[in-house]
Amino acid sequence: RNPYFWAVDTAGNQLPYIDDLSFRLFQDSDVHALRLVNGEIDCQSRHIRNTDLTVLKENEESGDYKIQFWRWTAVYGVHFNMTTNDDRRRELFQERDFRIAVSLGFNRDEVRELIYDGFGTNMQYGPPVESPVHHAKLSNAYLDYDPDAANALLDGLGYVDRDSDGYRLWKDGSGERITWTMLGGAEISDLSQTFIDYLGDLGFEVNYRGVDRSLSIELHQSNDVECTTSFMDRNLVPLADPQVWVKHRNINDRPWCNAWTAWKLDPSNPIAQEPPADHWIWTIWDLWDQIRATPGEQAQADLFKQILEIWSEELPSVGFFGELPRLVMVKNGFKGIHAGNPWDCCRGVYEHIIDNATWYWDDPSMHM
């Protein structure tokens, strides 16, 4: 027991109750699932696949565990790098109407039914309803599937001409079709492929490049990334880690303004680009600086809602749906994990807002 830990429980007992937490590495998701089924893990949520639900439920008794159902607050969406190295793509990605068109051109209901059996809620990336900074306008912006309106917006940007295969052409007279590469995990998921298909319906040819995490970070840090998708988290308590909204740090992922973030961190970075003087990113950064200097939770929340208002108008990253079921495996006898809560992560604390200092075993003698 750590006698220097800062907290005690209401009875004065020294926390944490459990002396040690250990983590097992894995590289194969099937191996990870087998460990869960065999009851080799005491508590786990991250990297549990919803597709494994049936086998996990069937083996609850033999594995001596229970599967809990939580609500995952993360929102699936796309990040177009508005600072990508290619001039034509950068111009396209910086167009607000382009990002709105992508939102209108994605059939959220169909995709949720196809891939998630209808689970989830259509939404942009915003704080969930439990959050003190929930912003309904942002959550509900541009959600309706309207391919005609989407195509009209793209035509209005001047990307009218198409080739014989129906792909849009760059408006510089080159006759070249509009293409870009979407960076993702080593194997393309059904979700990523479906999104690429919808982009194709809008007239864009999108290629997929699958890489491992380390190479992905390298490509972000050299600004050799045009587009990625992700489940955007950190939204239940946004002020604890607002990096996706503010992009004031971290050029390792979610690169909607990658080179501008690099400039914010270090103007001497080789990939750094100073944002245009009249760009709304300056307002976001200024509001965040005000929040850091402002005492009082309500005053901070009011300022942060101004950032969310900008997001509701500009859609820096386009969100599609969230609130999917989150599976949490808990070993029988392991206490302190309570089902039904919203699940999020902040600054790598994947145990969410539940305090692992208060986890305990009902029979500690069996776990010495």
Burial of 12 (0-12, 13-18, 19+ CB in 10 A): exposed
Contact between 223 and 257 under an 8 Å Cβ cutoff? The reply is no
Domain extent for 234: 75-322
Q: Are 57 and 156 part of one and the same domain?
A: no
Query: Which of 306, 322, 338 is the C-terminal boundary of a domain?
Result: 322
Q: Are 105 and 221 part of one and the same domain?
A: yes
Above 80 in pLDDT, residue 121? yes
For the stretch 64-98, pLDDT in tens is 999 999 989 999 999 999 999 999 999 999 999 99
The percent of residues above 90 in pLDDT, for the chain, comes to: 81
Above 80 in pLDDT, residue 347? no
Q: Are 306 and 190 part of one and the same domain?
A: yes
Contact between 230 and 77 under an 8 Å Cβ cutoff? The reply is yes
The percent of residues above 70 in pLDDT, for the chain, comes to: 97
pLDDT of residue 353: 56
Q: Are 92 and 146 part of one and the same domain?
A: yes
Q: What are the Cα distances from residue 176, in Å, to 4, 83, 138, 179, 278?
A: 65, 21, 35, 9, 31
How does residue 354 score in pLDDT terms, banded at 50, 70 and 90?
low
Above 60 in pLDDT, residue 128? yes
For the stretch 217-238, pLDDT in tens is 999 999 999 999 999 999 988 9
Nearest to residue 74, comparing CAs of 348, 253, 342, 356? Answer: 342
How does residue 351 score in pLDDT terms, banded at 50, 70 and 90?
very low
How does residue 348 score in pLDDT terms, banded at 50, 70 and 90?
very low
Stretch among 23-27, 120-124, 267-271, 298-302 having the lowest mean pLDDT? 23-27
Q: Are 162 and 191 part of one and the same domain?
A: yes
Q: Which residues in 145-269 belong to E strands, given as ranges?
A: 179-184, 205-210, 227-232
pTM of the predicted protein model: 0.89
The rounded distance, in Å, linking the Cα atoms of 57 and 328 is 12
Sheet of 318-322: strand order equals 121-122, 318-322, 75-80, 227-232, 179-184, 205-210
How does residue 253 score in pLDDT terms, banded at 50, 70 and 90?
very high
Residue recorded with tokens 């159902």: 69
Q: Are 39 and 150 part of one and the same domain?
A: no
Q: What would the two tokens of residue 337 be?
A: 């994990």
The rounded distance, in Å, linking the Cα atoms of 170 and 84 is 16
CB contact burial 46-85 (16+ within 10 A = b; e otherwise): eebebebeeebeebeeebebbbbebbbbbbbbbbbbbbbb
Q: Are 168 and 267 part of one and the same domain?
A: yes
Above 80 in pLDDT, residue 246? yes
The answer to whether position 18 is within a domain reads: no
Above 80 in pLDDT, residue 118? yes
The rounded distance, in Å, linking the Cα atoms of 263 and 273 is 6
Q: What is the identity of the amino acid at 55?
A: V
- Count of domains observed in the chain: 2
The answer to whether position 333 is within a domain reads: yes
Q: Are 282 and 352 part of one and the same domain?
A: no
Q: Are 44 and 178 part of one and the same domain?
A: no
